[in-house]
Amino acid sequence: MAETQQNQQKFPAVQGGGSLIVAWQVKGKKILVVGGGEVAAGRILNCLNADALVTVISPAARLNPEVAYRVAEKQITHIDRNFEPADLDDPAINMVLVAVDDPAASTTIWKLCKEKRIPANIADVPPECDFYFGSVHRDGPLQIMVSTNGKGPRLASTIRKFIATKLPRDAGSAIETVGRLRVKLRQMAPDPKDGPKRMGWMTSVSDAYSWDEMCGMTDEDMNNLLRYYPSGKVPSIDVLKAMRGNPDVSQLDVFDGSFGFSVGA
C-alpha cells in the first residue's frame, strides 16, 4: 500500500478524454478535400503549409474566392463535380477532409472512409472525426496548437492569441538558428553512438543563450561554438563575439575563468 501511494505521487495521473496531439508529417502526401467553401479554404491552407498534395472535389460554382484562387494558381488539383464513392479508390490518399453543408452526404463519406481505413475529419461533427484541427500559432518552424477537442473552437482561437502575446520576440528565428546548429553538429559528429552526447550538449546550448542572443548568432559564431563540443562546454555569447575574425582563443585577452583561457571583450 505504501509503495502504491509513493508511485501515485511519483508518476503523472492519467487524464482521460483528451486527444493524442502529434505533428502529422504530410509532405508530398495526397489529401482529399470535399467541399470548396470557407471552412474548406482553411483546411486547404493548413495542408499546403504542411507541403501536402491537395485535391479538392467541388463544383466550380461552389468554390469560394480563396479556393478558386488556389485552383487558378495551380496550388491544388481541382475536380469540378460532386464527390463520388470511387474517389476513395485511389490508394495514394492519406487523409480526407469533408467540409460540405450536407450532413447526410458527410456521414456517407465518413462511413466510406471507415471501410477503407482512411483517416477523416468531418467539419463541425466531432463524433465523425479521427482527428481535430486546432487553433494554430505559426512563426517559422514554431507551431503551437490549442485544441478544445471539438468543444469550443472559438475559445481555442482566443487562448491561442493570448499565448502568442506571451512568446519571446523572434522565437521562430531562434529556433531556425538551433536547427542549423543541429545540422552542423550532426555533420561533425555523425556516429549514432554520439547521439546522447549531441542531445546533452544541444540542451546546454539552448539553456545558455537568450532568444535575442540565439537570433543574432552568425554562421561564424556557430562554427566557433562547435569547437567546444568535444569538451562538452558552452562559451558565453561574449566569448563567441570575441572570436569573430580571430578564432585563435590563445590570442584573445579578456579572462573567462570558466573556460581556462583568455578571451576578448
List helix spans (H) across 97-218: 103-116, 153-165, 171-188, 195-208, 211-215
240 Cβ contact list (under 8 Å, min separation 6)? 217, 221, 224, 225
Q: How many residues does the chain have?
A: 265
Angstrom distance (rounded) from CA 34 to CA 55: 9
User: CB-hemisphere CA count at 13 Å for 208?
Assistant: 18
Q: Tell me which amino acid residue 68 is.
A: A
Residue 12 Cα to chain centre, angstroms? 25
Answer yes or no: 124 catalytic: yes
Which of 110-116's residues contact partners 24+ apart within 8 Å by CB, and which partners?
112/85, 112/88, 113/88, 116/88
In a 3-state reduction of DSSP, which class is residue 1? coil
What would the 3-class secondary structure string for 207-227 be?
HHCCHHHHHCCCHHHHHHHHC
Q: Choosing from 124, 130, 194, 238, which is the catalytic residue? A: 124
CA–CA distances in Å: residue 198 to residues 204, 209, 236: 10, 17, 19
> Would you name the residues annotated as active-site residues?
124
